[in-house]
């Protein structure tokens, strides 16, 4: 085993223990929570090691980094999630490798993703990114639609050819009423998910929680946690 493989295996084991403990504390089955490893800023060689160690879901937030990495790893049995703010001029590239886009937050993006998914004959899973620090009309600083805009956007995704509405995603806000209150934020996301599933029962993914707050996300009911630093280490540059 290379040093890097040993390091990643040890980190993965720690994260696995945290998820298992959080599930046990919440009375949830471990199988209800899927780990997505956020590999942004780390090389394709790390993605390959993670795959060897049994990771099946990876996430990236910048197309410039993600596109070559996904190409270098196209032989691996991985599901690729795109979790960053997405400009429409990057949609063609992203649809080429992303199985899911977790950062859907405006109608223009839905239109662009749909058009490109149809053109490439791909089906793209979509999560609506919710900005819990946004006012009812505007978008959040780090992307995401305000809670009041979720229903309209979800209906749009559900009707769009080539797209599949899979659920909701959020990043715990740094400002506003939920600052420092991750669990309350994630519980709000769960309430929005309950509302969403009335109209769209299959859209049951709830993506919440990162290295620092995965326990709060699991306690609130998240189905997917997105963990970068705790598996790969502190990122060499801002990702």
Span between the terminal Cα atoms of the chain, in Å: 28
Asked if 211 and 170 touch (Cβ cutoff 8 Å), the reply is no
The two three-digit tokens of residue 185, written as one number: 């934020």
* Piece of 43-51, 88-96, 147-155, 228-236 that binds ligand PLP (CB under 6 A): 228-236
The minimum distance between CB 192 and ligand PLP, in angstroms, equals: 17
Closest approach of ligand PLP to the CB of residue 186, in Å: 13
- Minimal distance in Å, beta carbon 199 to ligand PLP? 25
Three-class secondary structure assignment of the chain: CCHHHHHHHHHHHHHHHHHHHHHHHHCCCHHHCEEEEECCCCCHHHHHHHHHCCCCEEEECCHHHHHHHHHHCCCCCCEEEECCCCCHHHHHHHHCCCCEEEEECCHHHHHHHHHHHHHCCCCEEEEEEECCCCCCCCCCCCCCECHHHHHHHHHHHHHCCCEEEEEEEECCCCCCCCCCCHHHHHHHHHHHHHHHHHHCCCCCEEECCCCCCHHHHHHHCCCEEEECHHHHCCCCCCC
Looking at beta carbons only, is 34 or 229 nearer to ligand PLP?
Answer: 229
Q: Name which position in 171, 196, 206, 218 contacts ligand PLP (CB under 6 A).
A: 171
Q: Contact 116/91 with Cβ under 8 angstroms? A: yes
Check binding of 126 to ligand PLP (CB under 6 A): no
Q: Closest separation between CB of residue 63 and ligand PLP, Å?
A: 13
CB of 159 to ligand PLP, least distance (A): 26
Task: Give min distance, CB of 87 to ligand PLP, in A.
Answer: 15
Among 58, 104, 134, 227, binds ligand PLP (CB under 6 A): 227
- Count of residues interacting with ligand PLP (CB under 6 A): 14
239 binds ligand PLP (CB under 6 A): yes
**Quick one: which segment of 19-27, 112-120, 185-193, 206-214 binds ligand PLP (CB under 6 A)?**
206-214
Q: How far is the CB of 151 from ligand PLP (least distance, A)?
A: 22
Residues in a beta bridge with 60: 82
Q: Is 81 in the site for ligand PLP (CB under 6 A)?
A: no
- When binding is defined by CB under 6 A, the residue of 12, 83, 192, 217 that contacts ligand PLP is 83
Residues at the interface with ligand PLP (CB under 6 A): 38, 40, 61, 83, 171, 210-212, 226-230, 239
């Amino acid at each position: 085993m290379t040093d890097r493989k040993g390091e990643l295996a040890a980190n993965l084991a720690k994260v696995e223990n945290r998820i298992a403990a959080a599930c046990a504390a919440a009375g949830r089955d471990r199988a209800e929570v899927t780990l997505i490893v956020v590999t942004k800023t780390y090389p394709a060689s790390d993605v390959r090691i993670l795959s060897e160690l049994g990771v099946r879901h990876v996430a990236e937030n910048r197309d410039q980094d993600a596109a070559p990495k996904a190409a270098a790893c196209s032989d691996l049995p991985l599901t690729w999630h795109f979790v960053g703010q997405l400009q429409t001029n990057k949609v063609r590239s992203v649809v080429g490798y992303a199985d899911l886009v977790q950062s859907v937050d405006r109608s223009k993006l839905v239109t662009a993703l749909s058009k490109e998914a149809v053109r490439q004959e791909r089906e793209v899973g979509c999560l609506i990114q919710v900005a819990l620090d946004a006012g009812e009309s505007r978008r959040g600083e780090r992307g995401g639609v305000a809670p009041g805009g979720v229903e309209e956007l979800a209906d749009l995704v559900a009707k769009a050819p080539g797209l599949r509405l899979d659920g909701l995603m959020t990043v715990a806000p740094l400002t506003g009423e939920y600052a420092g209150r991750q669990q309350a934020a994630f519980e709000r996301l769960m309430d929005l998910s309950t509302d969403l599933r009335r109209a769209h029962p299959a859209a049951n993914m709830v993506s919440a929680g990162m290295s620092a707050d995965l326990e709060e996300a699991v306690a609130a009911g998240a189905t997917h946690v997105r963990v970068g630093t705790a598996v790969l280490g502190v990122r060499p540059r801002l990702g």
